[in-house]
Chain A
Amino acid sequence: MKLIRYENPHTNLFSNFNRFFDEAFQNLWQEPVNHTNLYNPAVDVYEDEDHLYLKAELPGFTKDQIDLQIEKSVLTIKAKRKGSDEEAEVSYSRSFTLDDSIDTNNISAELKNGVLTLTLPRKEESKPRQIEIQ
């Protein structure tokens, strides 16, 4: 069996191309490379004891243009909107594999100023708990 790196079909060719070179030369320049652009927006991930949080930058999208799907343990954020006159369409898709500790039935989402914040609660049984000594 071979391990093949999964390439998202929605990311554009140049972004993958640039990424290839950026990764290759990153160590030479010792500088972090920002891969995000309009078609490959930034996603930050945070956690606390009870939740996992995803913050995706989706400027220009309205609530109706964003589609959130959970299938098995894969969370997919899809967004599509018309661009300005000369630009055809801006579309974006990104998937995240969630581990078993996430309660996928109670995920909530909020869109504010072009930033989508997802709150993913952890399942009760996976939260850290104190065990009392009998």
Chain B
Amino acid sequence: MNDIVKNEQTEANTCTQEHTYKPWYRVDKKEDGYSAEIYLPGAAKEDVTLRYEDETLIIEAKRSDSVPDSWKQIRAESCKGNYLLKLRLNNKIDHEQINANFENGVLRLGFSHRAELAPKQITID
């Protein structure tokens, strides 16, 4: 697993948890940081919250795609409930500079390294 994320949740991604469950996500390493895609189908942009506390980025999303009571379920594969993902950011990440974009049920995050960690050229006197 990428060193940006140390997963704090030990629960498996199963449908047994009723209230919150861990969404699928992927993290890619970039030249100047990382990018992440978190898959939150059924959640609208306004129902996604991101907060950073204790070196951890907490992503919560509420699903807003409930069905009318008159619909009788005959096959269930999706997890019911809301999403919760905790990503622990390593200390190279500038947590003040996280870009977030939400489109079609996918949250895309961009993380960059702290500026003072950028490679520097040292000139010889």
Seen from chain A, the residues whose Cβ lies within 8 Å of a Cβ on chain B are 31-38, 41-48, 53, 55, 57-62, 84-87, 111-115, 117
A contact face: mostly helix, strand, loop, or mixed: loop
Q: How large is the interface on B (under 10, 10 to 19, 20 to 34, 35 or more residues)?
A: 20 to 34
Count A-B pairs with CB separation below 8 Å: 101
By beta carbon, the residue of chain A nearest B80 is: A44
**Residue in contact with B41 in the complex, picked from A31, A59, A86, A87, CB distance below 8 Å:** A59
Known A-B contacts A59-B40, A84-B26; A32 and B106 likewise in contact (beta carbons under 8 Å): no
By beta carbon, the residue of chain A nearest B43 is: A113
CA distance A84 to B108 in the complex (A): 10
Seen from chain B, the residues whose Cβ lies within 8 Å of a Cβ on chain A are 13-16, 24, 26, 28, 35, 37, 39-44, 64-65, 67, 70-79, 103-106
A19 nearest CB across to chain B (Å): 13
Known A-B contacts A34-B14, A45-B74, A84-B35; A114 and B40 likewise in contact (beta carbons under 8 Å): yes
B73 near A45 (CB under 8 angstroms)? yes
A116 nearest CB across to chain B (Å): 9
Q: CB-CB < 8 A to A45: which residues of B?
A: 73-75
Q: CB-CB < 8 A to A55: which residues of B?
A: 65, 67, 78
CA distance A113 to B71 in the complex (A): 20
